[in-house]
Structure 1
Amino acid sequence: MSSTTRAGSYRAVLLLPSALRTFVPALFGRLAYGLLPLSILFTVHAATGSFAVAGAAGAGFGLSSLSMPFKARLVDRYSQRVVLPPLALVCALGLVVATQLTTPALLVALVTVTGLFAPPLGPSMRANWRLITDDTGLKERAYALDAICEESLYLAGPLLAGLLISFWSAPASLICTAALLAAGTCLMVTAPLTRRTSPPSPARHPLGPLTNRGLRRILLVILVTAAGVSTAYLCIAGAAQAEGRPGAAGFVEAGIGLGSVVGGLAWGRRKHTRPAETQLAGLIGVLAVGLLAASLVSHLVVLGVVMAAFGLAVSPLFVVSYVAADELTPPDQRTEASTWINTANNLGSAAGASLTGLLIDRAGPSYGFVAGGVLLVLVSVTLLRRPTAGRWSRRPGGRSGPGPRAGRRR
């Protein structure tokens, strides 16, 4: 029996009640996160003349993303309409004020504190998709559409920021970023479904969904996988630098994003019936093969093609993870659980990038690709050799067991 079946069309998802009304504003708000890195970098550099200070400000904003799960918990408890607009408005105000400062320490501190108020738009939109697709069988397809669009935003965001900086100024780009964030968030929560809250579980544990063993296993897989995947970006930069064409790194990296979009489109067109851990093992295996193949490539154009093939598994990896997290957690914890997937990815990427940088300096980018590939092979083989379908699923009564597979609604 085939492991996949037809899943309907993306048009069917967008025609569901409240879908466009919620999704389009959310995309504008999330576009702000695509503009943000370059906008902050060049705004702070223009004010201080230091890339070190600019990098510290960007790192501070990124580090503050660790607060995302706790903001998501507030969303689960009090609703998007109550929580998201104040967060977005305070964050936008902080970004605007940052364009007026020139003192390095104040800039770094302000940008870092501003990051604490960044609204969790991605997890919130996935929570909306759960409500929009309820009883339709289209949730996995909606998640795929969401992942594809998010990947596209992170391709378009730097380009748009570059145009604004080139033809206007870096502070103007940061102000536009703030406007997108505030407007997109406030328009998203005008939909009726954003008023909804989930009744809290009795005697909820302070760690929330992290008490679930299956979710912790998924987070560990995502964290280690992200460490392996992050090697690709630094190794691409190292390879481009070694060829004397550092600017080409951006085009090669764009291949990953393009592959991710294509992979997400293809993945979302099918319903997948294999267990989540089997799907993850296969997708991580594709990533591993891509990194190992990249270690054998010396020409940048060929490397771009290999990285596009590598990227085919990126969006599906997150779709499977989000669906599995939904299966494992009760309704009042799903936004927070989704945010922990992102947090594990960010932490793993940071750890992998720091270690890969040391390896590239000592041995070169080819060895970095090999190290990342070997790490992902180990993750994939471990998932296949130690099946955990029972521990990654929940029956309707909440007991662990070989219940619904990933992607099937409870």
Structure 2
Amino acid sequence: MNFSVYRDLLAIVPVRRVLLVGMLARFPHAAAGVLLTLHVVLTLDKGYAAAGVVAALVTIGIAVGAPWRGRRVDNVGLRKALIPSVISEAVIWSVAPHVSYEWLLVLALIGGLFTLPVFSVVRQSLGVLAKGDKRRTAFTLDSIGTEVVFMGGPAVGAVLATSVSTAVGLTLVGICTAGAGLFLMWFNPPTRSESPEATEHDVEAATAAVVSSAPAHLGEPAAELTEAAGAAVEAEGQSGGLLARAAAGFSWLTVSVAVVFVVAAGAGLLLASSDVGIVALVESSGNPGQLGIVFAVWCFASLVGGLVYGAMKRRVSPMLLLLAMAVLTLPMSLATDTVSLALLSIPGGLLCAPVLSAASERVADLVPEERRGEAMGWYGSALTTGTAIGAPLAGMAIDVVGPWAGFAFAGTAAALMVLLTLGIRAVVNARRTLV
């Protein structure tokens, strides 16, 4: 391990600035999860399954919206792409706390659809600013910053919900997130090494140079080939060209990238289910104000694990990291109070940041830079899809069995996802070997 890599990376001003902006922009939504759960359970007097449905709709909206917003960043730039998010964050979360449960479901879906894409933007920018092994350290630092935010965000959310009101808390989330979006637009971190226009100009210039330097007798055949290629492209456009272009648009989606997306979905399921389980167990003990203690310990463990992983000189498979985290989450079901839950959250928490860092690094390595914004959007969609599945199912288990069932479901489901994916990949590789 080499911990000096952190000092070297933080000495780069743009990297340091992106990490700081990412922390500030994430803080409001770090409090939103607890606020939404307590708003449904305490203010609207619904169960944890109902709260899980709201969380699921938010994450479904994020999963649907993240890819096209990532593509918008690729195509029109960060500032224009963020305008819808800034407006919707301020409006929707100021209205949502004052409507019925049924309307809250609708607003939760729309709010998720236009959520500020902090995760994908920050990771995309770090992928541009950091190269090689520095990229692992940069993603780890971002995960560590996220853990610091989630050490304080849920605690602030719990205090606002229990001491003031969930309505005030959710309104502040919307206003602060919109403000963070405006700050991100002002800072405008780089998402590409160079503009598409510059790249196109360079290609045209290089082509012109080659043509101008070619022997004269090659001119006519080259012209004929160009004309023939144009005719072929036109013919393709008339017969199935749209399907071909659509397939080409996803040429970056290889089997290896798909496996990373499975890891992201499993991590989302595991974290969301554990999140609901923590809220349910602490609230059932009659001390919802102590939620911040458990989240602080859980996130601090992730911070420590992230520091160690970022200093490592070799990478570890995100699939194996997720499997270990799932197994280590199961003992949280044995907790009986706030203190025991906080202590039992440490082993699994140590692997949280490493899982997300390893998966993000893998996506950045596998996907070309010009499609990385869209790929990070799909990565975020996979993560939030897992969250959308995990939150309501864990809520149902908690309502039927008890708070401990949330952790049992989380660890078991995530572990089964990993084992099933590894089994499918082994069968595919075996068939390729036979062929």
Q: TM > 0.5 between the two? A: yes
- Cα distance between partner residues in 1 of 2:386 and 2:195: 30
> Does 2:14 align with 1:18?
yes
> Does 2:183 align with 1:187?
yes
Cα deviations by residue, 1:330-376 (Å, 9 ceiling, x for unpaired): 21222222232332232223333444445556665666655544555
* CA 105–224 in structure 1, closer or farther in 2 if over 3 Å, else same: closer
- Cα distance between partner residues in 2 of 1:352 and 1:338: 21
* CA 294–9 in structure 1, closer or farther in 2 if over 3 Å, else same: same
Which amino acid in 1 is paired with 2:253? T
Which amino acid in 2 is paired with 1:213? V
* Structure-1 residue corresponding to 2:144: 148
* Structure-2 residue corresponding to 1:407: none
How does 1:251-266 map onto structure 2 within 5 Å? 251-266=293-308
- Cα distance between partner residues in 1 of 2:358 and 2:281: 31
Cα deviations by residue, 1:360-408 (Å, 9 ceiling, x for unpaired): 56665666655544555555566777878x99xxxxxxxxxxxxxxxxx
Which amino acid in 2 is paired with 1:130? G
Cα deviations by residue, 1:251-309 (Å, 9 ceiling, x for unpaired): 445432221121112211223245x3xx531x234324423444556565334222111
Which amino acid in 1 is paired with 2:260? I
* Structure-2 residue corresponding to 1:27: 23
Q: Structure 1 residues 165-174 or 67-76, which shifts more?
A: 165-174
Retained in 2: the 8 A contact 1:127–1:335?
Answer: yes
Retained in 1: the 8 A contact 2:119–2:380?
Answer: no
- Cα distance between partner residues in 2 of 1:91 and 1:145: 26
How does 1:160-179 map onto structure 2 within 5 Å? 160-164=156-160, 170-179=166-175
Q: Which runs of 5+ in 2 are unaligned?
A: 201-243, 430-435
* CA 139–359 in structure 1, closer or farther in 2 if over 3 Å, else same: same
* CA 212–240 in structure 1, closer or farther in 2 if over 3 Å, else same: same
Corresponding residue SS for 2:4: coil
Aligned pair partner of 1:310 in 340, 344, 348: 348
Retained in 1: the 8 A contact 2:39–2:166?
Answer: yes
Retained in 1: the 8 A contact 2:55–2:391?
Answer: no
- Cα distance between partner residues in 2 of 1:122 and 1:163: 26
Corresponding residue SS for 1:324: helix
1:237 offset after TM fit, Å? 5.5
Retained in 2: the 8 A contact 1:28–1:184?
Answer: yes
* CA 372–34 in structure 1, closer or farther in 2 if over 3 Å, else same: closer
Retained in 1: the 8 A contact 2:82–2:181?
Answer: yes
* CA 338–91 in structure 1, closer or farther in 2 if over 3 Å, else same: same
Retained in 2: the 8 A contact 1:71–1:119?
Answer: no
Aligned pair partner of 2:114 in 108, 113, 117: 117
> Does 2:157 align with 1:157?
no
> Does 2:368 align with 1:326?
no
- Cα distance between partner residues in 2 of 1:366 and 1:162: 21
Which amino acid in 2 is paired with 1:310? G
Corresponding residue SS for 1:270: coil
- Cα distance between partner residues in 2 of 1:92 and 1:31: 15
- Cα distance between partner residues in 1 of 2:283 and 2:102: 32
Retained in 2: the 8 A contact 1:35–1:161?
Answer: yes
* CA 335–266 in structure 1, closer or farther in 2 if over 3 Å, else same: same
TM-score normalised by L of structure 1: 0.75
* Structure-2 residue corresponding to 1:76: 74
Corresponding residue SS for 2:13: coil
* Structure-1 residue corresponding to 2:314: 272
Q: Structure 1 residues 8-17 or 189-198, which shifts more?
A: 189-198
> Does 2:85 align with 1:87?
yes
* CA 86–259 in structure 1, closer or farther in 2 if over 3 Å, else same: same
Retained in 1: the 8 A contact 2:69–2:377?
Answer: no
* Structure-2 residue corresponding to 1:406: none
Retained in 2: the 8 A contact 1:21–1:188?
Answer: no
Higher relative CO (CA 8 A, sep ≥ 6), structure 1 or 2? 2
Cα deviations by residue, 1:210-256 (Å, 9 ceiling, x for unpaired): 73222112222332454455554455566557767676666445432
Retained in 2: the 8 A contact 1:22–1:189?
Answer: no
Which amino acid in 2 is paired with 1:157? G
Retained in 2: the 8 A contact 1:29–1:121?
Answer: yes
Retained in 2: the 8 A contact 1:127–1:334?
Answer: yes
Cα deviations by residue, 1:19-73 (Å, 9 ceiling, x for unpaired): 3333323322221212334555677899xx6344994665543331121122111
Retained in 2: the 8 A contact 1:208–1:333?
Answer: no
Which amino acid in 2 is paired with 1:92? A
* CA 64–216 in structure 1, closer or farther in 2 if over 3 Å, else same: same
TM-score normalised by L of structure 2: 0.71
Corresponding residue SS for 1:271: coil
Identity %: 23
Corresponding residue SS for 1:154: helix
Cα deviations by residue, 1:145-167 (Å, 9 ceiling, x for unpaired): 11111122223123233445566
* CA 342–204 in structure 1, closer or farther in 2 if over 3 Å, else same: same
- Cα distance between partner residues in 2 of 1:255 and 1:241: 17
- Cα distance between partner residues in 1 of 2:394 and 2:96: 32
How does 1:192-231 map onto structure 2 within 5 Å? 193-194=189-190, 196=192, 199=196, 203=245, 205=247, 208=250, 211-228=253-270, 230-231=272-273
Q: Which runs of 5+ in 1 are unaligned?
A: 392-410
Retained in 2: the 8 A contact 1:222–1:345?
Answer: yes
Aligned length: 378
- Cα distance between partner residues in 2 of 1:42 and 1:385: 39
Which amino acid in 1 is paired with 2:19? F
> Does 2:384 align with 1:346?
yes
Corresponding residue SS for 2:186: coil
Retained in 2: the 8 A contact 1:26–1:184?
Answer: no
Which amino acid in 1 is paired with 2:87? L
Retained in 2: the 8 A contact 1:229–1:287?
Answer: no
How does 1:349-360 map onto structure 2 within 5 Å? 349-360=387-398
> Does 2:373 align with 1:335?
yes
Retained in 1: the 8 A contact 2:60–2:388?
Answer: no
Retained in 2: the 8 A contact 1:16–1:133?
Answer: no
* CA 128–116 in structure 1, closer or farther in 2 if over 3 Å, else same: same
1:141 offset after TM fit, Å? 0.8
* Structure-1 residue corresponding to 2:236: none
1:195 offset after TM fit, Å? 7.1
- Cα distance between partner residues in 1 of 2:174 and 2:390: 30
